[in-house]
Chain A
Amino acid sequence: MAQVPGFIKGLGITFGTMMRTFKNGSNTVQYPHEKEAPPIRARGVIALHQDNCTSCMLCSRSCPDWCIYIEAHKELAPPRREGGKPRQVNLLDRFDIDYALCMYCGICVEVCPFDALFWSPEYEYSEPNITDMLHDKTKLSEWMETVPEAPALEVGADKKKK
């Protein structure tokens, strides 16, 4: 039997793919109408838990392109126990992340010693104006609602949290 030409075999592959697409539906989704859920760990946007932030500036200093701006002032808070001395707390005046500069490396979330920064897989916050990409602390706090629980780990993982 004569050999089947290679391009005929190739057309067979294309035909098979077409039939599979008819049967199982296409791999793409029509974006604004349908959405694919990003994975839990996806680095979409950084959320800020304001109460945990002590304005220690670690995130701002370790950011590779310096896109976190923090300003704070000190205030006296009532003592924890009765009769104690009033505590000194840092209050955030400004906590801005410039998403036009951010390169989503996640170093700020990692270095934060007080668990004030979290990743959220939310991604729909593009703006027509580049200055609007600067998210202030109220907007960053709003992202907190979208932060998911950390996923369970694979078998054999060390249970101990870092």
Chain B
Amino acid sequence: MTILNDPVSAKLGNRQQLSYIASQAADARLNVELETEGMTLNIGPQHPATHGTLRIIARLDGEQVVWAEPSCGYMHRGYEKLTEVRTFPQVTSLINRIDWLGSFANEVPFILAAEKLMNVEAPPRAQWIRTILFELSRIANVSLFLGDLGVQMGAITPVFLAFRDREYVLNLIESATGGRFHPNFDRIGGLKDDLPAGWIDETKVVMKKLRNFCDEIETLLFGNEIFQSRTRGIGVIPRDVALQYGLSGANLRASGVDWDLRRDQTIPLAYDKVDFKVWTHPDGDSFARCWIRLQETREATKIVDQLLDGIPSGPVMAKVPKIIKVPEGEAWVSTENPLGEMGYYVVSRGDLGPFRVKIRSASFNNISITPWLLRGVYVPDIITILASLYFILGDIDR
């Protein structure tokens, strides 16, 4: 068995891996008489728990996973190649579709990279509205995760609450940008339009509702004993392993790494104007990952509230030429998206469109840990661990 020789898992004293080793030792006598045959279980590509088309190939020994590997690419849409044959304004309408639950957050790093190349900076009002919409898309994204989490473990009610309150956020995004899921609102040099009248007051009411929703979910789901026993101590990612596998976002912070790109880098967004707490959790298990996301949703509503009070007045569009030609150069900008670090490496050769775009999406790196993480877990825990890792298939396959 490879796991017994694995120095990492032996050193870590990881609970699930230790229990696996113990059970192996206990079963050793039984296995002499009852020879168990290994079995390969395919989860997906079409599976209700994978929200998308991710296929997990798991080699089972009884109820336990010996070896597992994610097989992605079933929904590959070739965005990196598609962007090469589009002009810069057209690219934003495409990259909306990468992480479809928080689409506005996809546009921002690309636009910032293009602005960096053009040496343009959006006016302050545009930056503030960008930050507000960025956080709203985070709330829309993570609130669905909080509802979906219950469904993966057999609790039906949270998903209805999540869809109810997410609808308010989507309505806000729609009334400001025109698109519920694909805003396409960001432009090089600013925003397409200003906010409609009455939007700020509406948003304040909705943020109150969302905080109430977080409290409800906390009581309903996080305080539930069944939920706790399904998630506590399951799928533990220690700090150094999380760093080795390049995790980002809430998955990394749940392992105790205090790293948040909103706070740790200076980008032309309004994050330095607000106070917010970056939550970390020392445990690194499934519960910690879910809990971090819950706290982040709360924190996002507070960020939005603070930003709404101080939107500076002025234009939302800097002076940019009508036909956008980005000068020759290369730029890398990454932001803290709902799923983790998302970045674009844009190479321009002075044409109407980018020469090459490398997209670093968070989910692709986050699921790279699954072979390590799923080893030794029980079959029902696969679903819990995958749910708590929280990936979006469009973000994996791009």
Contact = CB atoms under 8 A, between A and B. Distances in A.
Q: Do A and B bind each other?
A: yes
A7 B89 contact: no
A14 B225 CA distance: 16
A46 B223 CA distance: 49
Contacts of B220: 9-10, 13-14
B251 to A, nearest CB: 25
A78 interface: no
A6 B197 contact: no
Interface string B234-275: 000000000000000000000000000000000000000000
Interface stretch (A90-98, A135-143, A151-159): A151-159
A40 interface: yes
Contacts of B176: 41
A157 B313 contact: yes
B43 interface: no
| B contact residues, range | 35 or more
Contacts of B316: 157-158
B317 interface: yes
Contacts of A40: 175, 196
Contact of A158 (B194, B224, B225): B194
Interface residues of A, number: 35
A86 interface: no
A9 B315 contact: no
Contacts of A160: 315
A38 B195 contact: no
A37 to B, nearest CB: 11
A158 B129 CA distance: 14
Contacts of A6: 219, 223-225, 228
A151 B196 CA distance: 6
B179 A43 contact: yes
Interface string A53-93: 00000000010100000000000000000000000000000
B154 interface: no
A159 to B, nearest CB: 10
Given A17-B161, A39-B175, A156 B223 contact: no
Contacts, number: 112
Nearest to A154: B195
Interface string A110-135: 10000000010000000000000000
Nearest to B167: A27
Given A154-B200, A158-B316, A107 B223 contact: no
Interface string B66-93: 0000000000000000000011011011
B197 A156 contact: no
Given A105-B93, A157-B313, A7 B224 contact: yes
A10 B225 CA distance: 10
B312 A62 contact: no
Contacts of B178: 39, 41-43, 106, 119
Contacts of B346: none
Contact of B194 (A7, A110, A157): A157
A64 B94 contact: yes
A9 to B, nearest CB: 5
Which of B176, B184, B228 neighbours the largest number of chain A CB atoms within 10 Å of its CB? B184
Nearest to B155: A10
A10 B197 contact: no
Given A7-B225, A10-B220, A10-B221, A156 B312 contact: yes
B197 A152 contact: yes
B47 interface: no
A33 to B, nearest CB: 19
A156 B313 contact: yes
A153 B315 CA distance: 12
Given A10-B219, A10-B220, A41-B178, A27 B197 contact: no
B216 interface: yes
B93 A10 contact: no
A104 B182 contact: yes
15 contacts: A9-B219, A38-B174, A41-B174, A62-B87, A64-B86, A106-B178, A106-B179, A106-B184, A107-B89, A153-B196, A154-B196, A154-B311, A155-B200, A157-B195, A158-B315
Given A103-B93, A155-B313, 14 more contacts: A10-B221, A40-B175, A41-B177, A41-B178, A104-B182, A105-B92, A107-B184, A153-B197, A154-B198, A155-B197, A155-B200, A156-B313, A158-B194, A162-B317
A-B pairs, top 4 by smallest CB distance, nearest first, are A156-B313, A105-B93, A6-B223, A39-B175
